[in-house]
């Protein structure tokens, strides 16, 4: 899944996870867990995440190399938040070539810039089950708890307006070049992210069906 912060990658990846029974692999979630548990990776990543900057490529590539070896990834997976740089994309391609299991599709969700900032600052997440909420169109329960597991939802520390704008700049500079990278290899499918969660999900499934019928 490709797309700017706040575009809905996580929400849509979770829907695909349920519908296709393959795991969502979110590097942001893995890093947030690492920070929470004070692991070596978490200690190294924390500062970059708080500033809205990217964690260095070598750390991310090692993390992904290990994650993709897990049993649950044997039948496929949805990558959410990786790759985020051309170096990461090249390393991923090499890793997947080695196991002869190339990427099927790259879905890019697109949304207007100001809408992204609005979505990011209104986002709330459940720290227990990872469910995503939005104060505008998908609020948690009125008492601020998660509709799925009852835990109190929180705002991510990097979801304030200033860090959101830095993350969007970083996205433009370092991640947007992946659009032409995957477009030239014929894998890129773009989906308008402005509709409801269900509408965007339907568009994603449509493009996935088209791309699987082409291969």
Query: Considering all CA atoms of the chain, what is the largest pairwise distance in Å, rounded to the nearest integer?
Result: 50
* Nearer to ligand AMP among residue 163 and residue 201 (C-beta): 163
Q: How far apart are CA 188 and CA 131, in angstroms?
A: 27
Which of 55, 92, 107, 126 forms a contact with ligand AMP (CB under 6 A)?
Answer: 55
Candidates 80-88, 123-131, 139-147, 187-195 — which segment interacts with ligand AMP by CB under 6 A? 80-88
Q: How far apart are CA 215 and CA 213, in angstroms?
A: 6
Q: By rule CB under 6 A, what string of x and - marks binding of each residue 101-120 to ligand AMP?
A: --------------------
- Could you tell me the end-to-end alpha-carbon distance of the chain, in angstroms, rounded to an integer? 19
Which of 13, 60, 91, 92 forms a contact with ligand AMP (CB under 6 A)?
Answer: 60
Q: How far is CA 72 from the centre of its chain?
A: 18
* Nearer to ligand AMP among residue 16 and residue 49 (C-beta): 49
What's the closest the beta carbon of residue 55 comes to ligand AMP, in angstroms? 4
- Catalytic positions are 9, 84, 123, 156, 167
Residues in the chain: 215
Q: Per CB under 6 A, does 124 bind ligand AMP?
A: no
What's the closest the beta carbon of residue 174 comes to ligand AMP, in angstroms? 9
For 58-114, the DSSP string reads: HHHHHHHHHHTTSGGGTT--EEES---SHHHHHHHHHHHHHTT-----EEEEE--HH
Residues in 8-37 at the binding interface with ligand AMP, rule: CB under 6 A: 27-28, 31
Cis peptide before 83 (omega within 30 of 0): yes
Residues that bind ligand AMP (CB under 6 A): 5, 27-28, 31, 48-49, 52-55, 60, 81-82, 84, 88, 158, 167
């Amino acid at each position: 899944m490709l797309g700017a912060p706040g575009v809905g990658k996580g929400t849509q990846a979770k829907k695909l996870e349920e519908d296709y029974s393959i795991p969502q692999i979110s590097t942001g979630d893995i890093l947030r867990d690492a920070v929470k548990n004070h692991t070596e990776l978490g200690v190294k990543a924390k500062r970059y995440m708080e500033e809205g900057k990217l964690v260095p490529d070598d750390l991310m590539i090692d993390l992904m190399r290990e994650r993709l070896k897990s049993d649950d990834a044997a039948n496929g997976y949805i990558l959410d938040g990786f790759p985020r740089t051309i170096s990461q994309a090249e390393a991923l391609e090499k890793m997947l070539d080695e196991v002869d299991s190339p990427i099927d599709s790259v879905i890019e969700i697109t949304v207007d810039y100001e809408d992204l900032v609005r979505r990011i600052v209104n986002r709330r997440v459940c720290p227990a089950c990872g469910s995503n909420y939005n104060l505008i169109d998908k609020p948690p329960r009125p008492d601020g708890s998660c509709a799925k597991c009852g835990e109190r939802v929180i705002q991510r520390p990097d979801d304030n307006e200033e860090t959101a704008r830095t993350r969007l700049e970083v996205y433009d500079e370092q991640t947007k070049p992946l659009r032409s990278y995957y477009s030239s290899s014929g894998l890129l499918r773009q989906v308008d992210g402005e509709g409801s969660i269900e509408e965007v999900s339907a568009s994603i499934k449509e493009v996935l069906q088209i791309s699987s019928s082409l291969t």
